[in-house]
């Protein structure tokens, strides 16, 4: 297979979709007869691109204009490199590939699907109707789609994608980078060696439900002496969250860490007793899966999450963590207290999470499933390297 990989999100930018794109790209590349990434030009990309063992072609386009600028860049690449298939991390860039397929330049067009991009309605009426129609046309004309959860798969079916073209492949994680470790020295350095630690790592935006954790803290702090809630990440919600904590009298139990450096993320996971992120659904803002839950599980930590969006695919209730209703501080507090006061039970959920990752949820597993499905559905494509 000669595969062109298009994504609006790619390192050095950071985030869940960026991780998805990069982890797949570096595993697809050695399996293809030819492989290249097409992505927007962002600050610092020259330095990062020089590190990867595959070509990255950058377009001078923003996140929002990338899909429209892709066609003039895509056609010359296909002509020179003779790419016969394209993989799209987001649906908008696939419009250009479908045009190229209609012109006989491509044989197959493959799409990933995450969640928010299938619900987003960025234009006012009546343009919103045209936008929705265009999205439906792209989704229903792709050769195969790879939603990251059953929830996302159901969204595809809702717009008319035939079930036979849908392959649900959950997200994965890096079980080497995220693994159990002795972090006693790190805990002393950050001053939590004698505390019970609850951790959240996310962008500070309303849908992540961090305010629900803060509302649960009075009940948790009453039941579990020495509790501390560490919040990693940046975003516009921080002032509101700080004000909420102050109004509830729990500011002393909370530390805002800001952006956590990549080389310290696994240390923070290992430093916590429980990881939580009780995301809520605020259409179009939904949690299509939740890679952070797998990262915490890979470090042997139990997780507590809300039963929304694609999270039930990421967190197996009662096996790798606990699921609670969204926007329910009391239920969240009960789940957190249950784990914090039963360390053996919490450790069992953490071990189950680690075993599940090793068994089926590393990025190698995910790349294998997607690549196999692309090859199996395309007569003549080579799978010899698998």
Beta strands in the chain (DSSP E): 2-6, 34-40, 55-59, 85-88, 108-113, 144-147, 196-201, 227-232, 254-258, 274-277, 303-306, 321-324
CATH of the domain spanning 184-360: 3.40.50.2000
pLDDT digits (tens, 9 = 90+) for 22-31: 999 999 999 9
Cβ atoms of 252 and 89 closer than 8 Å: no
- Report the alpha-carbon distance of residue 310 to residue 289 in Å, rounded: 4
Positive or negative: CA dihedral 179, 180, 182, 184? positive
- Tell me the Ramachandran region of residue 160: left when phi exceeds 0, alpha when psi lies from -120 to 50, beta otherwise: left
Res 301 pLDDT > 70: yes
- Burial classification of residue 164, based on how many CB atoms lie within 10 Å of its CB (0-12 exposed, 13-18 middle, 19 or more buried): exposed
- The pLDDT assigned to 239 comes to 98
Res 109 pLDDT > 50: yes
Whole-model pTM? 0.92
- The pLDDT assigned to 15 comes to 84
- The pLDDT assigned to 27 comes to 97
Cβ atoms of 73 and 38 closer than 8 Å: yes
Can 2-172+362-376 and 184-360 be said to share one CATH topology?
Answer: yes
Q: What is the residue extent of each domain of the chain?
A: 2-172+362-376, 184-360
Cβ atoms of 349 and 319 closer than 8 Å: yes
Residues 6+ away with beta carbon under 8 Å from 183: 267, 270, 271
CATH of the domain spanning 2-172+362-376: 3.40.50.2000
pLDDT mean over 183-204: 96
- The pLDDT assigned to 385 comes to 32
pLDDT digits (tens, 9 = 90+) for 30-58: 999 999 999 999 999 999 999 999 999 99
């Amino acid at each position: 297979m000669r595969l062109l990989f298009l994504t609006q999100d790619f390192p050095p930018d950071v985030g869940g979709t960026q991780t998805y794109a990069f982890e797949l790209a570096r595993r697809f590349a050695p399996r293809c007869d030819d492989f290249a990434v097409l992505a927007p030009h962002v600050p610092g990309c020259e330095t990062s691109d020089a590190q990867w063992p595959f070509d990255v072609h950058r377009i001078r386009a923003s996140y929002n204009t990338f899909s429209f600028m892709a066609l003039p860049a895509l056609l010359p690449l296909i002509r020179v490199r003779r790419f016969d298939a394209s993989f799209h991390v987001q649906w908008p860039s696939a419009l250009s590939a479908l045009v190229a397929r209609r012109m006989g330049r491509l044989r197959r067009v493959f799409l990933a699907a995450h969640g928010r991009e299938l619900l987003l309605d960025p234009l006012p009426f009546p343009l919103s109707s045209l936008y929705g129609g265009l999205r439906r046309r792209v989704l229903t004309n792709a050769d195969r789609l790879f939603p990251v959860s059953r929830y996302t798969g159901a969204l595809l079916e809702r717009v008319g994608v035939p079930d036979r073209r849908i392959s649900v492949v959950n997200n994965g994680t890096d079980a080497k980078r995220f693994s159990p470790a002795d972090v006693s020295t790190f805990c002393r350095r950050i001053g939590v060696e004698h505390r019970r630690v609850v951790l959240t790592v996310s962008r500070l935006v309303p849908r992540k439900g961090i305010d629900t954790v803060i509302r649960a803290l009075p009940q948790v702090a009453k039941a579990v002496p020495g509790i501390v809630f560490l919040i990693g990440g940046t975003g516009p919600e921080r002032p509101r969250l700080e004000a909420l904590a102050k109004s509830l009298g729990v500011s002393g139990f909370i530390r805002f860490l800001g952006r956590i450096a990549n080389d310290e993320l696994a240390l923070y996971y290992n430093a916590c007793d429980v990881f939580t992120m009780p995301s809520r659904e605020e259409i179009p803002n939904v949690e299509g899966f939740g890679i952070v839950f797998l990262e915490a599980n890979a470090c042997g930590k139990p997780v507590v999450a809300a039963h929304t969006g694609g999270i039930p695919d990421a967190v197996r209730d009662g096996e790798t963590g606990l699921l609670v209703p969204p926007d329910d501080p009391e239920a969240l507090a009960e789940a957190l207290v249950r784990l914090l006061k039963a360390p053996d039970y919490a450790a069992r959920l953490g071990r189950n999470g680690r075993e599940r990752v090793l068994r089926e949820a590393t990025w190698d597993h995910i790349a294998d499933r997607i690549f196999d499905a692309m090859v199996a559905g395309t007569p003549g494509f080579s799978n010899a390297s698998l």
